[in-house]
Structure 1
Amino acid sequence: MDTLTTGEIGENLVATWLQSQQYVILQRRWRCRLGELDLIAAAPDQTIALIEVKTRSTQNWDIDGLLAISPSKQRKLWKTAEQFIMEHPQWSERPYRFDVALVTHSRAALMTPALFTRIQQQQHFSLHTYLENAFAG
């Protein structure tokens, strides 16, 4: 049995979907003292997408993780992104954006439309919302 956490499974699902959309994954779970960026990918147009992945059960209280992207969380992500750019000058001239991916999981197959679905650890994981340029600094 795979021992990945629910969040890691959600991130892997999103990374696989992004690759199917011609994105190139540059970093996963990039960390610094300021915070973490779940996924960093080069979009087909060469924009650097900084992707926050929220994985929730179907019985969640925060609109599938969307409410967790509060103004304070956005500020923290911006500061973390600034540190990433400073440490990776080879990508500093490219445009950047923040994307949000919402993933749900359940023991039963989800009846809502999904962009991408996978079964892992006896759970159905579905990427149902991908918001490009979800927030600005």
Structure 2
Amino acid sequence: MSDLPPSNYPDIGTLGEDLVAQWLESCGWTILHRRWRSRWGEIDIIAEYTQTLAFIEVKTRSTGSWDSGGRDAIKPSKQEKISRTAQMYLAKFPEKADFNCRFDVAIAEAQKVPSPKILSPKISSPKLLKSSHTNEKSHSLAFLSTPSHYLTLQEYIPGAFDSLIDNG
């Protein structure tokens, strides 16, 4: 995965996906695809770890968003689109068809960083920092800092809607 300068990020959704992808890699996962598309829809991240494939939906919201931090946006219709897209992925990559598959959801929160009043802004690459407080619900799993945003990975839900997957 390449590190793009912050000016190349189109929105906080991309930053949230970057945070989740970097966190997964730091946990030993291999990122296979980002924003994988089929005619049914898009999967934000497809990752692999020891014969397990995770199809990951990332929801990034600003602090105090109207939809429970993105949880309300993962309706059954969205789950069905992701499930169909995952089936298309497995059809395109049959060597992965025997892997254990699951649907994960990552919830990230973004805060805009106030602009400091300086004449020449310092540009730096996004930085991922893992939190040491992963077992406390009030703390984030990881965070990402850019000159314009501060993102936290609030929750990672493995197998969030696995009842829709058909492994056979």
The TM-score bracket by the shorter chain reads: over 0.9
2:65 partner letter: N
| Partner residue in 1 for 2:160 | 134
Contact 1:100–1:130, Cα closer than 8 Å, also in 2: yes
Contact 1:115–1:126, Cα closer than 8 Å, also in 2: yes
Relative to 1, partners in 2 of residues 1:86 and 1:92: Cα closer, same or farther, differing over 3 Å?
Answer: same
Report the alpha carbon displacement of residue 121 of structure 1 after superposing the two structures with TM: 3.8
**Residues 1-137 of structure 1 mapped to structure 2, 5 A cutoff:** 1-4=6-9, 5-43=11-49, 45-107=50-112, 112-135=138-161, 136-137=163-164
Quote the Cα distance in structure 2 between the aligned partners of 1:74 and 1:6.
22
Quote the Cα distance in structure 2 between the aligned partners of 1:46 and 1:8.
27
Report the alpha carbon displacement of residue 107 of structure 1 after superposing the two structures with TM: 2.7
1:42 partner letter: E
Quote the Cα distance in structure 2 between the aligned partners of 1:69 and 1:118.
23
Q: Which segments of 5 or more consecutive residues in structure 2 lack a partner in the other structure?
A: 1-5, 114-137
Contact 1:28–1:37, Cα closer than 8 Å, also in 2: yes
Note the alpha carbon deviations across 1:27-86, whole angstroms, 9 max, x for none: 11100111000000012x321000000000012011110110001111111111111110
Of the two, which has the highest radius of gyration?
Answer: 2
Report the alpha carbon displacement of residue 105 of structure 1 after superposing the two structures with TM: 0.6
- TM (norm. structure 2) is 0.76
- TM (norm. structure 1) is 0.92
Richer in strand (by share): 1
Note the alpha carbon deviations across 1:81-112, whole angstroms, 9 max, x for none: 1111100111111010000000001136xxx5
1:3 partner letter: N
Contact 1:2–1:121, Cα closer than 8 Å, also in 2: no
Quote the Cα distance in structure 2 between the aligned partners of 1:121 and 1:78.
36
Report the alpha carbon displacement of residue 2 of structure 1 after superposing the two structures with TM: 1.8
Q: Which segments of 5 or more consecutive residues in structure 1 lack a partner in the other structure?
A: none
When the two structures are aligned, how many residues end up with a matched partner?
133
